[in-house]
Structure 1
Amino acid sequence: ETAEELRQFQFAEGYADATVELSPIHREPDEEGVRVDLKATVIRGPRTRLGEIEFTGQQKTREWMLRSKAQLTGPWLNRIEADEARNKLSRLGVFKSVYVDYPEETNTVEEVRNVRYTLEEGRRIDVRLLMGYASYDMLFGGAEFDHYNLWGIGHNARLYGVQSFKSTLGRYTYSVPEFLAPDLTAFADADFLRRQELTFDRREIKLGAGLRKSFPSTGQQVGLRYSYQFLRSDKQTGGAGVEDTRVAAVVADWSIERRNNPLLPRRGFRAGFSAEYATPELGGEASYQRFEGSFSYHLPVARATYLHFGFWHGISADLVQDRGPLPFNKRFFPGGETSIRGYEQGGASPLDATGRQLGAESAMIGNFEFEQALTRRWSVVGFVDTAGITPTIDDYPFDDVLVSVGAGLRWNTPVGPLRVEYGHNLNPRTFDPNGTWHFSLGYPF
């Protein structure tokens, strides 16, 4: 490690062929072993000037974009700087491989070397078909289309669409990786959702743009975006929320992923938080603040036994300006295969006197699972899910508590566990079912 640090220092000063040799000069036994003093001999070699910056192998990528990502300062050849530029090109996500070498410049009196980046472009178009089954949506199918390196300048686009018996979802995202800083992505997106909930129909169109910064060494991400939304809900009753509105909001979010396997977690944790601030001053009609926080933890307690814990809390109300009712679509509707499993999707929402969903302005979900693996692929689980809900923020944090207990069977696939589960409600309300079966793919929390 010491030798490499010395070598890196020489590289930064322009000594491209520097080497470091370590040799022992003194040995002395102590209580912990033998202490050895080392002598470091640095062999610099000639100081090398920076020549031309070359790119080979690119076919569709524009050279001016490559040069904007590989700007070396000179006048000396700094191999550390050249390798950082290689990493920056790799993070664009459009190359299968990026190599750098330093061919010597001929016919020069002093030592001059070029920096040559050899590129192999990746696939520009990728199409994936999507199919599956979920307890509430039933059969669904769709496709995901990715177009990489748009215009030859490293930009990417993704078109995603899914149709089920209960919903239609479409999303388009245009992204610019490595925007102004490492691991910083700029994006613009458009979403369309039409969904049949239990007692109302939801329609949403969302347009947005923002920035997202990743921190790969810690598994964290932070994001900030502006969102303009057209929200509509049909078949609602009572005074819980407006039916049709436009929303302009600023949204900030943070997440950390420290699980050993996001598709099949056995140890580690994940956490996230988001805050949405909407006000007419941003261009919409509605005024509210919406906060969501989540945490999950996974712990092996024996060779094939695991405990899983999950918690989620959401608040959605106008806590600052009190300018009117909360948009109905911005209320929370807990229940379902990833929430409290004694209920269908959205079924654990507060209800009115006729059994229609009111939505919650404050909600909490707690999950506990005991998983016992039977084989490498099969396992059984027992779980307890709880929900605290209230239709109005005045009764924060909740005025009603729902509890489900249940069990299930899981088959672990390469894309997550295939789950069959039954949740039984211990304290069902007047319009609640005694329990609900769920058949789904993916980890619940």
Structure 2
Amino acid sequence: MEHTVATMPTARRPGCPFDPPGELIQAREHGPISRYTFPGGRPGWLITGYDLVRSVLADARFSSRKELMLHPSIDVSGMEIPPAPPGEFLLMDEPQHGRYRKPLVGKFTVRRMRQLTERVEQITADHLDAMEKAGPPVNLVTAFAKPIPTIVICELLGVPYEDRGSFQEQVDSFLSGETSDEDMLAAYTATQRYLGELVAAKRANPTDDVLSDLTDGDLTDEELRGIALILLAAGLDTTANMLALGTFALLRNPAQLAALRADPALTDRAVEELLRYLSVAKTFMRTALEDVELGGRTIEAGTTVILSYNTANRDPERFADPHVLDLGREAPGHLAFGHGIHQCLGQQLARVEMRVAFPALVTRFPTLRLAVPPEEVGLRPETADIYGLKSLPVAWDV
């Protein structure tokens, strides 16, 4: 009998904050693809297997266009969904997607991101110094995990130093999933307005940053604002939550933490394994543009499929002992950054930040530990687009 999932599971199992929701794991155990019923009764598919998720991401017959998507938890039947705003290329197909992405590719190469390593090291050291001066306990989210990627992305975009505090508050309000719809909309609108002003300032007086570089091309101010918003959301929220949730996972796996502290050469593998194990960007969607045969099923044209990254990255057919955090694992190819033409543009930047931050933190504070019982760590709402933490109280010996 074909497995069916009636609603999108979001609840994590008690005591298992790092594992995908139990119902998603069960769905994967029934096979890599399940029927799914969207709110309003429209049929769709939930894809939980690694090979099928990767296949869809590489298949141009599946669209990323916002206006073609159903929503996994909101009834949008009968609604006219607008296309993505100019510049927001994650929700577009070719050729529009390429028009916005191609000017950015050269600015996020492995070489250019590695050149940022020294600056990331300095930012990290500054925050570790501040933590040491303040003394324990501290909330690692606000003291370490959020500020590092915030400063880096603000410098890349050219956000003036004096604006960064208020800018981060606005961004937090619409990305955290913890505010009311009204407050979230107000924060989103304020951020859009600020980015529009920033684009105009860069066009008038270019400085040494990515946004200024982009003003040399044929992109409009509205398009540049949309691109800036994508870079901001992708470059800040995901990395901040990886740093926080990754530290929590290490503290709950002391043997793995000790291995990382003892062997800095393990860092690259550790980062890839934490990306696989945590998969903070949990799900994405695509809509079939034509009938597609997939996993022995026919995905009819116009049907939306949900791609479960966190179960794909825990697929036992791809990863041995997938629910075990093993920093020495030699299993590249996780889907934490996606795959295909929409694979995360800023993945090398995220890697640089994590490769610097994790070993620096655990080396500076060799007795780092949770300051509260694990069940009291502040998890983000399970409905948030990016999974992570709102608080991580930690302490150490002084």
TM-score strictly above 0.5: no
TMscore range, shorter length: under 0.3
Give TM-score, length-normalised by structure 2: 0.22
In proportion to residue count, which structure has more helix? 2
- Radius of gyration: which is bigger? 1
In proportion to residue count, which structure has more strand? 1
